[in-house]
Each structure stands twice: as C-alpha cells, then as structure tokens.
C-alpha cells in the first residue's frame, strides 16, 4: 500500500504542475480572469491533495497498512478527479453544468481527511 500511494501521490503532484503550466501558458489568453481563477483553484487543491496522498503513503510506512489509510488515499484521489477535474473541464469548455460535480469532489476530500484522522486517533502509539 505504501508503494502504491507513493506512486499515485507523486504522479498526482507531477500532473498538478503540468496542468498548472498548461493553464498558465496555453489557456490563460483564451479564458477570462474569472475562469482562470477557477482553474487555479483546481490546481491548488490538486497539489495539496497530491501531497496528502504522499502523507498517507508515509503513514502506511510508519503504521502499516490499514483500511482507513487505504480509504483515505482513494478518497483523496477521487476528490482530485472530481473536484479539480471538474474545475479544469469547466474552465476549458465553459460548460457551467460541470460545476455540479465539484462538490462531490469536496466531499471526497473531507471524507479522506476524516479517514486519516480516524486512523491517527485509533493508533495506540
């Protein structure tokens, strides 16, 4: 589990940088300032939660594998796809109805952090 989430976390962090650079260099001129702020929000949440997945990998290395840590990792990944992904698509396509997906990603983020917290609380040491 540790290796899997380390790879996923590193991949997500790399994609966050690449997607951010794409936005800054390729689409900034073709979308408005408001749309670009939406895109940048997606990139910020993407990177923060990629780092969260790396934190989960490190926790798995310290504490061992657990269902709560696995759930935390998968939920943060789902949050990146749903939250950040919907913001990227909304910005690029201009389809406002994609915004309905974003809150589901936010809920996945919150649930993932709750799972990590629950794992930490239930640890003896």
The pTM of this model reads 0.94
Number of domains in the chain: 1
Q: What is the pLDDT along the chain (125 residues), one digit of tens a residue?
A: 999 999 999 999 999 999 999 998 889 888 889 999 999 999 999 999 999 999 999 999 999 999 999 999 999 999 999 999 999 999 999 999 999 999 999 999 999 999 999 999 998 76
68 torsion bin: left (phi>0), alpha (psi -120 to 50), beta (else)? alpha
**pLDDT at residue 124 in the model:** 78
Whole-angstrom distance, CA of residue 45 vs CA of residue 59: 21
* Pair 38, 91: CB distance under 8 Å: yes
pLDDT at 84: 98
CB 38 within 8 A of CB 90: yes
| Residues of the domain holding 65 | 2-122
pLDDT of res. 125: 67
């Amino acid at each position: 589990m540790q290796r899997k989430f380390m790879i996923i976390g590193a991949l997500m962090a790399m994609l966050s940088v690449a997607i951010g650079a794409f936005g800054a260099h390729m689409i900034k001129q073709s979308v408005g300032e408001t749309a670009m702020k939406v895109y940048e929000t997606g990139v910020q949440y993407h990177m923060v939660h990629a780092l969260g997945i790396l934190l989960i990998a490190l926790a798995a290395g310290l504490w061992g594998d657990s269902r709560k840590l696995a759930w935390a990792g998968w939920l943060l990944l789902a949050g990146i796809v749903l939250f950040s992904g919907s913001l990227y698509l909304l910005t690029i396509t201009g389809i406002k109805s994609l915004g309905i997906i974003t809150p589901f990603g936010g809920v996945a983020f919150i649930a993932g952090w709750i799972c990590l917290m629950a794992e930490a609380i239930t640890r003896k040491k």
